[in-house]
A and B are shown apart, each in its own frame.
Chain A
Amino acid sequence: MRPPLPLSLEAAAVRAAGALSRLAGRGGGTTLPGKLLWKLDPGAIDALARRLPQGSVAVSATNGKTTTTAMVAEILRPHVRVAHNASGANLVSGVASALLRAGGAELGLFEVDEGALAEVTRRLRPKALLLANLFRDQLDRYGELELVAARWRDAVAALPDARLVVNGDDPQVGSLARPGGRVFGLDDPRVARPALQHAADSKFCIRCGTPYEYAAAYVGHLGDYHCPSCGHARPALDVVAREVELRALDGASFTLAAAEGETRIELALPGLYNVYNATGAAALALALGFGLDDVRAGLGRFSAAFGRFERIAVGDKRLLMLLIKNPAGANEAIRTLVEGRAPRVAVVALNDAIADGRDVSWIWDVDFEPLLQGLERLVATGARAAELALRFAYGGLDRGRIEVVPPLERALDRGLELTPPGEELTLLPTYTAMLALRRTIAARGLVANYWERAA
């Protein structure tokens, strides 16, 4: 129990809160104002959200929520002024900070941490909600998948008027679909995986526990499933990606089909997981009343979200940074990498701060093995560099090819040193390692800090 604050302090705090409220619309930039506001007066968040003339929209998922939300922002940008937590601060405090900075915005567009969905949506009362996927992630922080799914069911039930856009290819998420919303998914068995991956999560029927059968499994457990025992199956899709073309690291394209018609989408981002992100973003934009042309143009303009898939020139070499944070996401990043040209030198970074997950066991569930072919040198870095090195060693990489360099900046330099001129160094960092590496790269003037670029 915390002792109550002395009255004078509390009064000062309330005055500070008042000052913060007056700050709404000016500057900001970190989650600190939001954190203070939330601590001092949680109801202020509700009030700020109600000031947005077109209300709010929320996006949640285990994987892809930052990218998907940024895609929606790009589709909407020419038409509406958006308040957006673009740098991925997606807890209540991050949403509050974005609201404090939202001066002049007409619509709130927020990515929301899957564990914070109930609290955030209770305050925002979003008019539309995109729920994209649930994967096993940071069990030490979120608890088991079933628990997160149950919280989502409650959060959705408490928003009876919100338009609900869900990924039908995810059994847990697809089961939340309701009339008036949209169900999106993929339909192209040519790009399906031959079998469910090791890390697949929702393998068992959510109704009766029998293993699902998949007509097509696309990313982890996402796909065209049905239960051979009770018949539970993927719901009918109303926003569909078809005729998917994956161009290794150079992008992807697909045909988007919806009640509004069909259009061909060109994406600069690679990988099937980005086709999911784009299809979800499209379904949400359509649900908000935007047209297929807006969707095609916005997705066509979109480049990359913070640290998710970035190419950065460093003299006569290049960096390619792909965030890894859980087995399903990391598997897709690796699949996309090796469909291009498997890297010869890679820097893989494993931190274990709260935002990365303190439990690092998930790296043993990632299929790193496809990376090993052609890998001449691995630089393992981050707080748990040795653990990561073990993962690769027991995965079959010769120990002579592994260097353990825990300090991130030194590892980055070592990786660059090992990369021949004209070639690309692959960086696969966890979340806080990605932030730190990006700060280093920004301090060297190679790339603007995201918060400087963000609109």
Chain B
Amino acid sequence: MKIRIGHLYPDYLNIYADRGNIAVLTARARARGHDLDVRGIGMRDAVPAGGIDLFYVGGGQDREQELVAHDLVAKAEPLREAVEGGAAFLAVCGGYQLLGSYYKDVAGHELPGIGLLPLHTVAGRRRMIGDVLLDCDWAGRTLAGFENHAGRTILDDGADPLGRVVAGFGNDGASGYEGCRHRRVYGTYLHGPLLPRNPWFADLLLEQALTHAGREERFEPLPDDLERAAHAVSAERARSRGGRR
């Protein structure tokens, strides 16, 4: 089956090896006999109505993030309709912030978000940089990655985080939680990139994308020896040196 991926702003938001995530999705879909059709959705491009099963948006430097923020607002309606129609969505770092209701920089200047996730972000003075390990109770799995953000992301009351911080800073360095999930939308600060060393999460996104495409399927696991080894090293790094200033 063909899984249609919409990669938002690949020329602007690509700072933390986002193509690694796409490469993992492509290879793991192919291993199960599915093809990925990845299309870039750039500045002023229209969001194809109903035509995307999984959206992806990565992180950028402040300048690039500001360049895309206003364009993203123009895409808010079709993106909301897609998500309500069951499309999956992974947003990393800067892209995660833009899915909230707004981002306020240190000068108090507000960048609009599109409100797909129940949160907002306020820039802090010190960057939170380092390895992170999350416990995702809802999935019975862990996620290991790297964070580098000045923004403090505050979830709305009752919003579901992506995981509990075992080691690292997380959303705001204080709440003990990281990321956010709502319907099939997942936002996180974890790059590294995220999916190569957390293949279960890649598979979950692909299964949800397939559901949107009209096919229910539970994947057989892949060998994933290298993935497990990389996850173990990354998790150890987080335990020994994550969340330090």
Contacts and interface: CB of A to CB of B under 8 A. Distances in A.
Contacts of A143: 127
B195 to A, nearest CB: 9
B148 A384 contact: no
Contacts of A352: 237
Interface string A108-143: 000000000000000000000000000010011001
A189 to B, nearest CB: 23
A386 B193 CA distance: 14
Interface string A380-396: 00011011011101110
B234 interface: yes
A209 B192 contact: no
Contacts of A386: 226, 229-230, 232-233
B148, B232, B234: residue with the most chain A Cβ atoms closer than 10 Å: B148
Contacts of B123: none
A361 B16 contact: yes
A136 B15 contact: yes
Interface stretch (A272-280, A290-298, A332-340, A362-370): A362-370
Contacts of A387: 196-197, 230, 233-234
A404 B226 contact: yes
Interface in B200-245: 226-227, 229-230, 232-234, 237, 241
A140 B62 contact: no
Contacts of A364: 17, 19-20, 23, 193, 196
Interface in B19-36: 19-20, 23-24, 27
A386 to B, nearest CB: 4
A204 B38 CA distance: 24
A146 B192 contact: no
Given A390-B230, A394-B27, A358 B15 contact: no
Contact of B19 (A136, A139, A365, A383): A365
Interface in A157-211: 198, 203-204, 209, 211
A359 B148 contact: yes
A361 B191 contact: yes
A393 B148 contact: no
A414 interface: no
A360 B131 CA distance: 10
B74 interface: no
B160 interface: no
A77 interface: no
B23 A362 contact: no
A423 interface: no
Nearest to A392: B226
B63 A390 contact: no
Given A361-B20, A364-B193, A390-B196, A145 B148 contact: no
B9 interface: no
Contacts of B11: 203, 211
Nearest to B64: A204
Nearest to B237: A352
B62 A146 contact: yes
A361 B64 contact: no
Contacts of B229: 386, 389, 404
Interface string A413-448: 000000000000000000000000000000000000
A136 B14 CA distance: 12
Contacts of A146: 61-63
B196 A394 contact: yes
B130 interface: yes
A250 interface: no
Nearest to B25: A394
Contacts of A154: none
A402 B229 CA distance: 14
B120 to A, nearest CB: 22
B144 to A, nearest CB: 11
Contacts of B159: none
B67 interface: yes
Contacts of B234: 387
B13 to A, nearest CB: 12
23 contacts: A136-B15, A139-B148, A144-B61, A144-B63, A198-B19, A203-B11, A204-B63, A358-B130, A358-B241, A360-B192, A361-B16, A361-B146, A361-B192, A363-B17, A364-B20, A364-B193, A364-B196, A384-B230, A387-B230, A390-B227, A391-B20, A394-B23, A394-B196
Interchain residue pairs A-B with the least CB separation, the first 3 = A364-B17, A364-B20, A386-B229
Interface of A: 136, 139-140, 143-146, 198, 203-204, 209, 211, 352, 358-365, 383-384, 386-387, 389-391, 393-395, 399, 402, 404
